């Protein structure tokens, strides 16, 4: 099997890169520090003054980390690749791997290159998504944008433009009219365009001072998408500054040469994602090869367009009419090169932004079912987990955060749940303030039906502009099961809330101004039928609708950063996760299945009940926290009476204005079977709770008999949750257990394996098996689909 090693370029840098590599190569680090006249370790690990994102420092840092990563890769016994390639700056690492020059020479070249590019004339760049070169060219010609050029052909769905800054900004309107997604990029120069010509001559002169060797491994050139030859090394490096990066055709070339495995070496997996997109783009072309039209002239075989992928042909005299085996051979070769790994599923920027291995997270489950143990175990495995803070007091949340932070390093990812408190917005805001106090930078927002001060405050606190780039320290993963809710999260924060937060001194004027340019959330989780709060939506109907909405909102607001759309609800098997990624999910979040794990915060009795259920063993009940407005949660119905009793209480609440109006027989039944206490005892407990938390609710209840009845009934919901956490088998008929059908499907999947018992289910291992399985299914189904 042929393999290629590929190296990422500028944009893949991140603080902390190289941390495990620097101690392994002290001599190379010393050489680098001498050449650069500063500490490369300090730049990469501490990022003083945000220098890691300044071109002059970014390029040497990436070159060094890419180089060390490759040397370590070889030390691990991987063996030298058959081909190498790099994106823009990454091409220098490809040439290093091919021994065209040594480490010191390459770093000296890159240092000069970065210095020159940092002095580039002011220009601009923009990414264009889901549009062909011809469509883009048509918009540019129609608008008269003669000073905009094609900079990068990254993938069929991603082309980057470069040129005059004013025209780059002005062109946004033209692309919006053409209904094409157009995203201006935060860069200081018009890289890979003719605006770099003034720097090219100086760099060419600099290159003449060095000697190069013939590549010992084929290096695919950004310039031509063909292998380097000794004669063109200097010319290619010079022209690369002003020419388009032909990344898509470079990958096509290697695939057609028989490369089946692409291994990205460096601090990110940006190129891995692009390679996956390029492989998927072959679908129509491969299907055409699989079912070719009648060929009247056999020698003129149909070829994959726009790629240098020519094969040796037999002489025409040896080719029979309608002979197709060469086509089938080429087809098999292309399909065999399509390899899917768990790391390649989903959106690379999601993984990069959150510092995780997979585009996968374990969702928050209320009252600490999404426990600190889940969060810690996921984080140590390089995955994202959320602490279920809904139903916790501020003191409980603080206690959990202290434990989590004592176990994890600052670079290990985790988040917390921010639940919408319909009747208590002040508490919601206090939770947001507590998260910021403890440095929590990611929250999963759930049950929101409108934007609130707490959401906006958390999102915008600390936002700032540095060296022309927007730095947004806090992220929100927003659950949405309705398009109108998703639209609110995809919009900039409401002016009314911004004004209030500014007036109260919670946000500065700069934070407010910058906040107007970004959505409330860049990550929208499409929540289909799930455990807990749910609208019972169908994923196959809801997800495409939210994706269409996202494209519309990107055109409307021209955000610089793409909004990502993830999937949740019903995910309990590799098949369901693979299906989500097939639909285009940028990430997935699992929920119910993590409740039935060793690390879950619920009782062992609940886990015993959950480990054997099937998909039909759940139903809907009123939500205790939003009882009055009829919101619903999905719960377990097998072995319990809670759903039936909860629905009955809501029915009674709708039909009566007070407890006194209910007929005597029903009241006695509620007290004896539901409460197992008198209503007076329940009211005394309810008053004691609200007097210590929200005394205004008691005052309201004294004036409104119906509100008093609601509070009494909501006691049962809190009581049933407590019983489930306590896990007394004698009380299990009243357990309230939030659960979706995903738990049943997971149980069926692991039946007969060691994971059949919850005592063997660990959240990180479940995630690993699900994502590995999803990658295998994705690859199998894709190959099967392509050859139909």
Active site residues: 88, 192
Contact 640, 733 (CB under 8 A): yes
CA atoms within 13 A on the CB side of 264: 21
Spatial distance between the Cα atoms of 375 and 363, rounded to a whole number of angstroms: 10
Question: Hey, what are 129's tokens?
Answer: 């998504």
Strands (E), 655-723: none
Cα separation of the two ends of the chain: 25
Spatial distance between the Cα atoms of 589 and 528, rounded to a whole number of angstroms: 11
Q: Per-residue DSSP letters for 540-554? A: HHHHHHHHHHHHHHH
346: left (phi over 0), alpha (psi -120 to 50) or beta: left
Question: Hey, what are 508's tokens?
Answer: 């500065």
Spatial distance between the Cα atoms of 610 and 606, rounded to a whole number of angstroms: 6
Question: Hey, what are 158's tokens?
Answer: 């991603």
Spatial distance between the Cα atoms of 251 and 258, rounded to a whole number of angstroms: 11
Spatial distance between the Cα atoms of 250 and 255, rounded to a whole number of angstroms: 9
CB atoms within 10 A of CB 52: 20
Q: Per-residue DSSP letters for 122-188? A: BEEEEEEES--HHHHHHHHHHHT-TTEEEEEEEETTEEEEEEEHHHHHHHHHHHHHTT-EEEEE--S
For residue 362, the surrounding DSSP H or E stretch is: strand 360-362
Contact 426, 432 (CB under 8 A): no
Spatial distance between the Cα atoms of 779 and 756, rounded to a whole number of angstroms: 26
- Hey, is 632 helix, strand or coil? strand
Cα dist from 58 to 63, 118, 158, 184, 587, whole Å:
9, 10, 23, 20, 28
Q: Per-residue DSSP letters for 341-357? A: -GGGSS-HHHHHHHT-S
Question: Hey, what are 578's tokens?
Answer: 């693979």
Q: Calculate ∠ Cα 371-374-376, nearest 5°.
A: 110
Give the residue among 225, 231, 160, 235 at the shortest CA–CA distance from 200. 235
What are the residues whose beta carbons fall under 8 Å from the beta carbon of 702, sequence distance 6 or more?
708
For residue 284, the surrounding DSSP H or E stretch is: helix 283-290
Q: What is the DSSP letter of 675?
A: I
Rg (CA), the chain: 29
- Rounded-to-10 torsion of CA 495, 498, 500, 506: 180
Spatial distance between the Cα atoms of 266 and 69, rounded to a whole number of angstroms: 6
């Amino acid at each position: 099997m042929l393999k290629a090693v590929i190296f990422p370029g500028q944009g893949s840098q991140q603080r902390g890169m190289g941390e495990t590599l620097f101690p392994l190569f002290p001599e190379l680090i010393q050489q680098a520090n001498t050449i650069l006249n500063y500490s490369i370790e300090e730049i990469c690990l501490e990022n003083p003054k945000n220098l890691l994102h300044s071109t002059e420092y970014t390029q040497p840092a990436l070159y060094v980390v890419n180089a060390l990563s490759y040397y370590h890769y070889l030390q691990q016994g991987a063996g030298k690749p058959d081909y190498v390639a790099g994106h823009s700056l990454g091409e220098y690492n490809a040439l290093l791997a091919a021994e065209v020059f040594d480490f010191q020479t390459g770093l000296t070249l890159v240092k000069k290159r970065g210095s020159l590019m940092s002095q580039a004339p002011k220009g601009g760049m923009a990414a264009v998504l889901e549009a062909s070169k011809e469509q883009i060219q048509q918009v540019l010609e129609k608008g008269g944008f003669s000073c905009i050029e094609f900079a990068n052909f990254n993938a069929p769905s991603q082309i980057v433009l470069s040129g005059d800054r004013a025209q780059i900004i002005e062109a946004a309107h033209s692309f919006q009219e053409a209904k094409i997604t157009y995203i201006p990029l935060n860069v200081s120069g018009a890289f890979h365009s003719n605006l770099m010509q003034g720097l090219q001559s100086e760099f060419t002169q600099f290159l003449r001072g060095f000697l190069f060797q013939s590549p010992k491994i084929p290096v695919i050139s950004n310039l031509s998408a063909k292998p380097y030859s000794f004669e063109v090394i200097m010319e290619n490096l010079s022209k690369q500054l002003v020419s388009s990066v032909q990344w898509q055709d470079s990958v096509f070339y290697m695939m057609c040469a028989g490369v089946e495995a692409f291994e990205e070496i460096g601090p990110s997996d940006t190129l891995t994602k692009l390679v996956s997109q390029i492989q998927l783009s072959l679908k129509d072309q491969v299907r055409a090869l699989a079912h070719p039209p009648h060929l009247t002239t056999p020698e003129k075989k149909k070829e994959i367009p726009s790629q240098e992928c020519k094969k040796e042909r037999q002489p025409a005299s040896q080719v029979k009419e309608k002979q197709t085996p060469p086509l089938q051979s080429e087809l098999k070769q292309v399909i065999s090169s399509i390899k899917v790994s768990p790391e390649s599923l989903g959106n690379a920027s999601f993984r990069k932004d959150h510092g995780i291995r997979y585009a996968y997270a374990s969702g928050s489950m209320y009252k600490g079912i999404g426990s600190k143990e889940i969060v810690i175990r996921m984080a140590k495995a390089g995955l994202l987990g959320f602490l279920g803070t809904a139903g916790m007091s501020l003191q409980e949340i603080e206690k959990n955060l202290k434990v989590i932070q004592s176990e994890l390093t600052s670079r290990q990812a985790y988040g917390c749940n921010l639940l919408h408190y319909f009747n208590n917005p002040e508490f919601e805001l206090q939770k947001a303030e507590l998260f910021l106090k403890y440095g929590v930078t990611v929250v999963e927002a759930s049950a929101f039906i409108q934007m609130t001060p707490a959401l906006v405050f958390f999102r915008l606190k600390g936002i700032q502009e540095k060296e022309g780039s927007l730095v947004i320290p806090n992220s929100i993963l927003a659950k949405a099961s309705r398009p109108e809710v998703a639209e609110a999260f995809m919009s900039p924060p409401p002016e009314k809330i911004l004004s209030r937060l500014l007036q109260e001194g919670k946000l500065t004027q700069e934070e407010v101004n910058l906040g107007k340019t970004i959505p409330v959330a860049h990550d929208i989780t499409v929540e289909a039928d799930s455990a807990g709060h749910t609208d019972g939506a169908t994923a196959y109907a809801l997800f495409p609708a939210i994706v269409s909405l996202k494209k519309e909102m990107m055109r409307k607001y021209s955000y610089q950063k793409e909004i990502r759309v993830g999937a949740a609800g019903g995910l309990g098997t590799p098949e369901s996760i693979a299906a989500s990624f097939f639909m285009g999910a940028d990430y997935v979040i699992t929920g119910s299945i993590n409740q039935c794990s060793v690390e879950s915060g619920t009782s062992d009795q609940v886990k015993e009940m959950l480990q054997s259920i099937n998909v039909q063993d759940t139903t809907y009940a009123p939500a205790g926290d939003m009882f009055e407005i009829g919101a619903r949660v999905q719960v377990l119905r097998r072995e319990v009476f809670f759903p039936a009793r909860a629905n009955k209480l809501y029915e009674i609440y709708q039909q009566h204005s007070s407890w006194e109006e209910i007929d005597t027989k029903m009241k006695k039944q509620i007290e004896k079977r539901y409460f197992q206490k008198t209503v007076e005892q329940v009211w005394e407990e309810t008053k004691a709770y609200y007097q210590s938390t929200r005394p205004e609710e008691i005052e309201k209840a004294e004036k409104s008999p119906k509100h008093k009845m609601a509070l009494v009934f909501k006691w049962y919901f809190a009581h049933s949750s407590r019983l489930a956490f306590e896990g007394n088998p004698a009380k299990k008929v009243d357990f309230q257990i939030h659960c979706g059908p995903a738990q049943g499907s997971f149980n069926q999947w692991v039946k007969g394996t060691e994971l059949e018992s919850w005592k063997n289910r660990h959240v990180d291992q479940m995630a690993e098996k699900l994502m590995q399985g999803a990658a295998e299914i994705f690859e199998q189904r894709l190959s099967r689909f392509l050859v139909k």
